Structure 1
Amino acid sequence: MKTSRIAQFKAGSAPLVLGLALIASPAFAQDAAEDESNQDIVVTGSLITNPNLEQAQPVTVVGAEEIDLQQSNVAEELLRELPGVTPSVGSAVNNGNGGASFVNLRGLGSNRNVVLIDGYRLAPAELNGRFDLNNIPLALIERVDLLTGGASTTYGADAVAGVVNFVTRRNFSGLEVNLSNQLTEEGDGHTIRADVTIGANFDDGRGNAVFSIGYQQSDPVYQGARDYGRFGLSSASGGGGGSGTAVPSRFTLGTGGTRQMLEDGSAFSGVSLYRNFNFNPYNVYQTPFERYNMFGAANYEISDAVEVYTRGIFSKNTVDTIIAPSGSFGVAVQVPINNPFLTTAIRNSFCNGNGISAADCAAAANPALRPGDAAYRQVTSALFRRATEVGPRISEYTTTYFDYRLGFRGGVTDTINWDVSGSYGQSENLQQIKGYTLNSRVRDSFLASNTTSCFSGTAAGCVPINWFGPEGNSSWTPAAIDFLNEVSTVRTTSTLAQARATLNGDFGVASPFGSDPISFAVGGEYREYSAAQNSDLLAAGGDLGGAGGAAPNIDGGYNVYEAIGEVIIPLVQDRPFFQDLTIEAGIRYSSYSIDAPTSPSYNTTTWKVAGSWTPVDGIKFRGNYARAVRAPNIAELFSPVNTGLTNLADDPCAVFDDAGVRIRANPTGELRAVCLAQGATASTIDSIAQPIAGQANSTGGGNLNVGPEVGKTWTVGAVFEPDFVPGLTMTVDYYNITITGAITSPTPGDAISACFGTNPTSPAAGASATDACRIIRRDPLTGGLNGDPNTTPGLFLSLSNLGRLEASGIDFQLNYTRDIGFADLSVAGVLNWQETSSFQSAPGGYVRDCVGYFSSNCGQPTPEIQWSVRTTLSFESFDVSLLWRHIDGTVYEGQAADFAARGFAASGRALFNGTLPASAGSLAGTQENFTTIGSADYFDLTARVNVNDNLTIVGSVQNLFNTAPPLVGGEAGSTSFNSGNTFPSTYDSLGRRYVLSAKIRF
């Protein structure tokens, strides 16, 4: 076959394959990818491969071999095994999962990295600008490159923590069918995956086309199906946890505090203790998921100097999140004293607690009274009651996604190439919300003229409900259930239109002391983002019970014009102690325009310098410094101020825990003054309970005045290929990423400490008059930080450019291959030592370093050391491989030596340490320390058999030793990560699993 100008261009252009730079520079991994594309069997790769040997910036690579052996069903599973990749929202997240999967590099946030396919951005999934990993076409992925540190010079805003680049197989020819089946040892969590890929070269090799279609389906794994998840455990006591929004109902009784109904519904219980609701069995460790995806790509040499290429992605994903029943989560209701379902004992309790005399109470009991009558009386009470009769809350997220790209490339001269391309993509997510009761309907159902009719002025079709009676009482008719709940929808659409033109190659001249020519790239890029969120019932008011507030309508966008320049200069080559000395530099200028009349536009500049020095064979030193910039996304700019939920384990004003057990004395002195200033009343201040299930109300939103944040990244490291150990490659790199002017909100702990100080039980004199205290607003009925979002703003967590983030540590990577006679041995591993993972919400505030800790402020565990090592023995037609993943131990943030300085009283709320009581069900009697998570080691054993040239069968046992996840209860971290008494995104909550797959090739 002839060698055209285009073929030469493809063989030497790293940007098309690696996506690591816009400079044309050789890289071993590119050759491997090109070689593989002309073979039916995947060339052996490894977890750590050769981009580290060719780049000045450290790159971790998940190669074709690792992809094949891991037997992952979705892209997030490929990345979760790597140290340095912090678990983010994905399939293990139930409460807080919006139907997408994201990646979080270095714990800096899933909105601070860019996900690419073949070096190009794709349309984001939502208003935060994040790409959904569920849209990655796994069947065509050759490898995954993770570039650490600021990459904004090459990829623009968002790439502050780095980039994840999924590289597709190139010039695929033939037919390939992949079938996979997975099942847990418990017989649940069934997952199937099927992919068919077909490709061909045509017109004497001038063109290639490939098309792949895939399907995947996963069944749910309920937390109730595992011993460690069956019962909700309290992180504070180790006993029964769960939620104070329970069954039977719980009401506030004015000066009588909060009381729960007796089981038979005849009267209130005589003590403040109440039975928490065990929501765990309703929740899931694995969200049910169904996906259809298509990927097509083609390229054709129009002439010897011009090639056209195109790529299209389409997917449709459906994710169901299932959580415990809805209900009234402290909603204020008006209870008529003549409500037909009130017993005499219940009526008298309401009257006594609200100062209604016995005579007035008896007169108001007349069933003929109506609002406006002189004797009519009603009391305001906060209702806490699960509507278990309605069933679980289910959100069905259906995402339709497409992204299409078209481009042309060719050569200007023998050494200079051009590339022009454009793309457009759109993601549409439709959330159908089922099983939620409406707070307004709950209120109306109390306004009953008799057991079958409501007062005039209530909603059409109003059905009275006996909220005082036992669960499932006769008032819960199908008509009542139908009246209480409605199907609600939230539609989120995001788009990205982009165009890029680059000119890259070399000048044809070299440094006086070098042999390779100086390379360069210049170019321009344009991107236009738009996003909108449209809701019906959730648009305002937060009417859905337990939905955490409103989902307001949002519409916004911005565009950016950019100019790019990069250069690579081999300064010295083939000299003593200077086998190679190369420097790199790059700059990107960006001009942003926000689609809002009052929002300022702004310009940013990012740049980088890097270098590598090879003094002798077998060792290379490398370093990089970059100034990266992240512009605010659409959610950060345009989201209206709204009240939702955050995580807070300890309210300093609370005197009872979530089960009504007294935990401290009534507030006195300045503490009492603070609680009253925040909205507690004289009748509630001595009965405030801890936030329900560790969740408190919080108010925040976007801010059109926030500007770009700046990240400064530097890395320094070395690559070793010792001649005396053939087949061994090692890399070690130190990284430091510091983000100033970070677009952040305070943590709940920051908001509490700003008001109450380092000892919340004894705040400073005058604290009650400070803005930091008065901006916290409590429920007027209970004095707590839960309640109706329309009346209880809770904590104020405003968005600003005042934050500071830092992540630093060391990555160590090893790759070793050797023929040991009877087999080929391959060992590939990557280890991360995390030095710092810190956050400061405002200058002068506490710098919270989460390394070695877990808490609701840190969100999830941040281990100091993690590693993944794969060892493989390859025989003639059979491979056996063992993956060992290690996660270092962590402790609860409350155990930190500087706990008080972190904004908590040293004598404050500690997690449980002891023997689990009978309320813990099947775990009763076991010793657990909720303050400490020990180190965890997971092993996956895989066997692969090449039956013949057309068939490969892979069998795998994941979590070989059935290692159970650590127990920490339900309030030890943020809700999105602390679920089912553990952290299911970090630790394996499914148990041992069996995977069998087949690959058929023709």
Structure 2
Amino acid sequence: MRTTFRSRLLTTTLFVGAVMAAGSASAQQVDSTVTPGAPAPGVVTQEGADTAPTATGDIVVTGTLIKNPNLVQATPVKVVGADEIDLQQANVAEELLRELPGITPSIGSAVNNGNGGASFANLRNLGSNRNVVLLDGVRLVPAELNGRFDLNNVPLALIDRVDVLTGGASTTYGADAVSGVINFITRRNFAGLEANVSQQISEEGDGSVFRADVTIGANFDDGRGNAVFSIGYQESDPIYQGARDYGFLALSSGTGGGGGSGTAVPSRFSIPGQGTRQVNADGTAFRPGNAFTAFNFNPFNVYQTPFDRFNIYGAANYEVSDDVEVYTRGIFSKNTVSTIIAPSGSFGVAVDIPLNNPFLTDALRNTFCSANGISAAACAAAANPTLTPGDAGYQTVTSALFRRATEVGPRVSEYSTQFFDYRLGARGAITDTIDWDVFGSYGESENLQSIQGYTLNSRVADSFLANNTTSCFDGTAAGCVPINWFGPQGNATWTDAAVDFLNETSTVRTRTTLAQARATISGDFGVASPLSDNPISFAVGGEYRRYSASQASDTLAASGDLGGAGGPAPNITGGYDVYEAIGELIVPLIQNRPFFQDLTVEGGIRYSSYTIDAAGDPGFNTTTWKAAGSWTPFNGLKIRGNYARAVRAPNIAELFSPVTTGLTNLQDDPCATFDDNGNRIRPNPTGTLRAICLAQGASAANVDSIAQPISGQANSTGGGNLLLDPEVGKSWTAGVVFTPTFVPRLSISVDYFNIKVDGAITSPAPGDAISACFGATGTNSPTSAACTSIRRDPLTGGLNGDPNTTPGLFLSLSNLGRLETSGIDVTANYAHDIGFAKLSLAGSMTWTDKSTFQATAASFNRDCVGYYSANCGQPIPEWQWSVRGTATVEGVDISLLWRHIGSTRYEGAAGDFVARGFDEDSRFIFEGTLPASAGRLAGRQVNFNRIEAKDYFDLTTRFNVAENLTFTAGIQNLFDIEPPLVGGEAGSTTFNSGNTFPSTYDAIGRRYVMAAKIRF
């Protein structure tokens, strides 16, 4: 897996050649896309946004249904233009968005274990299900049952700009827009041919990303119509964690040494009264004590998921008369995302071991017999190789098996998605100032997950049921092969027939549909305020949406029989209808008066009626509204503010998912006396603590030998709830926009935001469930519901194990949650011509004051700003900014992007750690010199409790090599900044992977990108 020096040398040579080519072409006079007076590349304010027609001729102003190209709203909107997209050379929309301040990285290309084949955006850290992603102001069919749109389907080649609006936008766009909207605006009437091709590769020579797009458009019938068609292809190769020194070995967040999984090789078995014990290297006896060699799963995992995409986009509009225009738009995408994780196996599955199993040595058998109270004579008699079930003297012992089936190979889930969404509409004029617009659209998304390399728990159990080496007992599955689970890795019993018996391919098919229709009338009344020049504008309309979704699993996936799948994938079917009435009003009150160059107020309201596809469910009705205003006392200064009431209706997954047991993240189990490497960490539980552990399902035989959750993962049980109501969000913003006349081409905006969500549809964080029973705010009673709702593995007493016997933590959905976030956004833009060069600067900064989550009124109100943990997920820095500076010299653009991510610390290090659910033994993780067991990183000084601020720089050069040919060369992560090390249990598994947080920090290293664009 390691990259050779030769491949790195080749990559560097190619880049140097590109830079030399850039220098030789710099004498050519070309028109740069950055010109003085125009918004600089980067994030700009809405004041710098272009509201010209889209590819379908539509005018889109994000945040309102009133189509007015001169309108600048009171609601702040960040805008990312096509030029910034071009300079960043982002290949998918998620990569572009995750680097914007105010957007927390969500599921995307850096997520491996937890990626379901789609990419999402998380605005303001309120959850990726609380913002709406739009294309030209219209929803598209979601990718899954949580109602989220897959950003992999955004046709970036056609995107002119991206608008990010903060705060409740449900009045304009309906439910789910609690934290805001992300609106991708397609390019306006396109005529000509444009072809793009790009190649990206890391300095290590891996992670190649190839992308090509071709777009063609034309005007026809004397300009009455326009049609555009685009086709694209992308292919991304994986980057394995084992290919980086900092990711090669799974590190324990608690010890700093080699961590990994307790599902290891050789096997571990639960022994009554002794915890779990690992078989020695030759399989003849158990190792002394509880310590074991953990399995290093990191080399199998990836920092960049393999990805293939083929997409088509087409749009057209035609004026059938002077007053009527028809328009259409269609999108098709087929993409495949592969996730690759360490081999499957038995993750605590209960197995019955016949005492005459042919692979049991006398030492192993005697240990099992002694621990299970079987006399020496009975044990010896049961070893008779002729005994079969039902015979006198035949005996078995039950044990939890932890063994990695490395012989089967890695677990691979291939997610193949086919997506299409088609829109057809017409618009026209009623009067000179009033227009109408009617459209309908329908979309489908189908995701087929092919699950490969997973062993079956039932067949693992069957493979023990034998008294000889060639055949299993009657009653086992067809084709059963006896396997020596006690022996070393790859022993002779792991034949092709054995692997075929254990391993089956499974499938899960997820299908979603969205049918919608909207009719609006907008314009102005032809009347104005006595003190205003512009008339009062309005929009009224109605909207209908029909959502349906299903998840269909085969028997293996639905039953939870797949080893290491994290629980069953149940069959789910559901849907709902929404009928809505909408009204918006913008009233210019005073214009062109002393101290009142402009004073405008606006408002809106939307009434929604939901019908749920469930017998006896009456549905629900919601009302959202907004009120906003802006005041420009004189040219160059605008003061603005808005207040909005938004709602989020429960989605299909939250309503219809059955209760199942899966996995959550938990580093510390208060009942545990051993760490996840089998080393003692605290005394045996006594008193009330011991009584609680026993009440939760631990037994007298295992309560003194409970181990911490394996790899920081514990079982949890939860599901949907048809009694859920919509949650309510209340948001307000207040800010100023400064565009001084004495400094031309300078604009600065400062906006405060505050968003609160009451009745939030949430489930408790793992720390909440533990704290409710064991913590300072807990009941500390073995009979309390908070304690007895936690259910343990009867064989080990731990919170890992067979989902059928170990429910773990109970994390149910309810409307008892509360979320709140607040902070300040600052955006600045400046451009200047200094004669020999044109300079531009664009920057966006977010200061996050709070980001709180409270699961119930009795739970701790957890503020995650400045922290990371399994409860908070990934790091939420207080300060983030992104600044791009561009110089155009002799027609060549040289651009530098600076991204800053503020410092954070482990949540257990908070001053109020006890109230947050941490105890003295778990509040801190490793700090010091990494030990020899850390492998290649041994001797490095680290502090897993703190992540220092990180600064990343990307350098891009862009120039014309011919009249219609533009070439771009860039270096991403210019100074090859390594990601911070925190081990593998410092956050949620989805985002804490490869010893770091690869969605937040660059885990790939320095990368080179080359791109060419030809235009006619």
SS of 2:368's partner is helix
1:123 and 2:141 are equivalent in the alignment: yes
Which amino acid in 2 is paired with 1:16? I
Q: Is the 8 A contact 1:835 1:851 kept in 2?
A: yes
Cα deviation per residue 1:954-973 (whole Å; 9 max; x = unaligned)?
00000000000000000000
Q: Kindly indicate whether the alpha-carbon contact (under 8 Å) linking 1:716 and 1:735 is maintained by their aligned counterparts in 2.
A: yes
Residue-by-residue CA offset, 1:411-445 (whole Å, 9 max, x unaligned): 00000000000000000000000000000000000
Distance 1:11 1:338 in 2: 75
Is the 2:262–2:677 contact (alpha carbons within 8 Å) kept by the matching residues of 1?
A: yes
- 2:771 counterpart of 1:728: no
| Aligned counterparts of 2:191 and 2:882: Cα–Cα separation in 1 | 33
Counterpart check, 1:136 vs 2:154: yes
1:879 to 880, 893, 902: 893
Query: Does the CA contact (< 8 Å) of 1:608 and 1:624 recur in 2?
Result: yes
Q: 1:257 aligns to what?
A: 275
Task: Give 2:67's match in structure 1, choosing from 3, 24, 35.
Answer: 24
State how far apart, in whole Å, the 1-side matches of 2:591 and 2:1006 are: 53
Structure 1 residue identity aligned to 2:852: S
Query: 2:525 maps to which residue?
Result: 507
Look up the equivalent residue of 1:803 and give its one-letter code: G
Using the TM superposition, give the Cα deviation of residue 673 of structure 1 relative to its aligned residue in structure 2, in angstroms: 0.4
Distance in 1, Cα, partners of 2:306 & 2:323: 49
The aligned counterpart of 2:554 is 536
Structure 2 equivalent of residue 460 of structure 1: 478
Aligned to 1:210: 228
Give 1:50's aligned residue: none
| 1:989 to 2:1007 alignment | no
**Corresponding residue for residue 97 of structure 1:** 115
CA distance in 2, matches of 1:285, 1:11: 36
2:843 corresponds to: 829
Give 1:891's match in structure 2, choosing from 882, 905, 915.
905
Contact 1:179 1:193 in 2 (8 A): yes
Matched AA of 1:987: Y
Match of 1:412 in 2: 430
Aligned-pair CA distance for 1:257: 2.5
Work out which of the residue numbers 381, 389, 393 in structure 2 matches 1:371: 389
Contiguous gaps of at least 5 residues in structure 1: 1-7, 29-53
Distance 1:306 1:992 in 2: 53
For 1:18, the aligned partner's letter is V
Alignment of 1:577-726 (within 5 A): 577-726=595-744
Listed as ranges, the matches of 1:901-912 within 5 Å are: 901-912=915-926
- For 2:406 and 2:259, the matched residues in 1 are separated by 18
> 2:968 corresponds to which residue?
954
Cα displacement string for residues 866-909 of structure 1 (whole angstroms, at most 9, x for unaligned residues): 00000000124210000000000000001101111112224534
Secondary structure of the residue aligned to 2:558 is coil
Work out whether 1:350 is the aligned partner of 2:364.
no
Give the whole-Å Cα distance in 1 for the aligned partners of 2:193 and 2:67. Answer: 32
**In structure 1, C-alpha distance between the alignment counterparts of 2:988 and 2:314, rounded to whole Å:** 40
Q: Is the 8 A contact 2:718 2:810 kept in 1?
A: yes
Shift, 1:949, TM fit: 2.8
Alpha-carbon separation, structure 1, partners of 2:129 and 2:415:
21
Q: Distance in 1 between matches of 2:851 and 2:842?
A: 26
Does residue 398 of the first structure (1) align with residue 416 of the second (2)?
Answer: yes
Contact residue 60 and residue 67 of structure 2 kept, 8 A: no
Query: Structure 1 residue 772 and structure 2 residue 815: aligned?
Result: no
Whole-angstrom distance in 1 between the partners of 2:117 and 2:438: 34
Q: Check the 8 A contact 2:55/2:187 in 1, yes or no.
A: no
Aligned-pair distance for 1:537? 3.2
Q: Tell me the CA shift for residue 396 of structure 1.
A: 0.2
Q: Deviations over 1:496-521 (max 9, x none)?
A: 00000000000000001111000000
Q: 1:80, CA displacement in angstroms?
A: 1.2
Are 1:498 and 1:526, in contact at CA under 8 Å, matched by a contact in 2?
yes
Q: Given the alignment, which residue of 110, 118, 128 partners 1:110?
A: 128
Query: Secondary structure of the equivalent of 2:551?
Result: strand
Contact 2:779 2:786 in 1 (8 A): no
SS of 1:769 mapped into structure 2: coil
Q: Which residue number in structure 2 is paired with residue 980 of structure 1? A: 994
Cα deviation for residue 25 of structure 1 reads 2.6
- For residue 838 of structure 1, what is the aligned residue in structure 2? 852
1:60 aligns with 78
Cα distance between partner residues in 2 of 1:538 and 1:405: 38
The one-letter code sitting in structure 1 at the alignment partner of 2:901 is I
CA distance in 2, matches of 1:825, 1:538: 61
Q: What is the match of residue 938 of structure 1?
A: 952
Shift of 1:386: 0.1
Equivalent position amino acid for 1:385 in 2: R
Deviations 1:592-629 (A, max 9, x none): 00000132311000000000000011100000000001
CA distance, structure 1, for counterparts of residue 969 and residue 56 of structure 2 = 37
Matches of 1:12 and 1:988, distance apart in 2: 35
Q: 1:209: how far off? A: 0.4
Secondary structure at the counterpart of residue 996 of structure 1: strand
The TM-score with structure 1 as length reference comes to 0.95
C-alpha distance in structure 2 between counterparts of 1:798 and 1:572, whole Å: 53
The root-mean-square deviation of aligned C-alpha atoms, in Å, is 1.3
Secondary structure of the corresponding residue to residue 486 of structure 1: strand
- For 2:703 and 2:719, the matched residues in 1 are separated by 29
Q: Which residue in the other structure is 1:566 paired with?
A: 584
Q: Is the 8 A contact 1:670 1:764 kept in 2?
A: no
Among 457, 472, 477, the alignment partner of 2:490 is: 472
Using the size of structure 2 for normalisation, the TM-score is 0.94
- Please state whether the residue corresponding to 2:525 is helix, strand or coil: strand
Deviations 1:334-365 (A, max 9, x none): 00000001111111111111110000000000
Partners of 2:988 and 2:413 in 1: CA distance: 20
Distance, in Å, in 1 between the alignment partners of 2:962 and 2:288 is: 75
Cα pair 1:19 1:120 within 8 Å, conserved: no
Q: Deviations over 1:148-191 (max 9, x none)?
A: 10000000000000000000011100011000000000000001
How far did 1:15 drift? 6.7
Q: Alpha-carbon deviation of 1:10?
A: 5.9
The 2-side partners of 1:719 and 1:442 are apart by 66
Counterpart check, 1:294 vs 2:337: no
Say if 2:946 is the partner of 1:927.
Answer: no
1:11 deviates by 10
Rounded Cα–Cα distance in structure 1 between residues aligned with 2:58 and 2:848: 31
Structure 1 residue 119: deviation in Å?
Answer: 0.5
- Residues in 1 aligned to 2:559 and 2:967: alpha-carbon distance in whole angstroms: 55
Gaps of 5+ in 2: 1-50
The question of 1:171 aligning with 2:189 is answered: yes
1:865 and 2:872 are equivalent in the alignment: no
- Are residue 316 (structure 1) and residue 330 (structure 2) matched? no
Q: Distance in 2 between matches of 1:10 and 1:150?
A: 25
Residue 957 of structure 1 aligns to a residue whose secondary structure is: strand
State the shift of 1:739 in Å. Answer: 0.1
Counterpart of 2:116, as a letter, is G
Amino acid at match of 2:979: P
Measured in 2, the distance between the counterparts of 1:364 and 1:389 equals: 30
Deviation at 1:539, TM superposition (A): 4.6
SS at match of 2:455: coil
**Paired residue type of 1:26:** P
Find the aligned partners of 1:726 and 1:540 in 2 and give their Cα distance.
64
Q: CA deviation at 1:12?
A: 15
Tell me by how many angstroms 1:309 deviates.
0.2
Deviation, 1:13, is 12
Structure 1: how far apart are the matches of 2:267 and 2:850?
46
CA offsets 1:202-229 (integer angstroms, 9 cap, x no match): 0000000000000000000000000000
Residue from 811, 817, 823 that aligns with 1:797: 811
Q: Which residue of 1 aligns with 2:203?
A: 185
Q: In 2, distance between residues paired with 1:909 and 1:335? A: 40
Counterpart CA distance in 1 for 2:831 and 2:122 is: 31
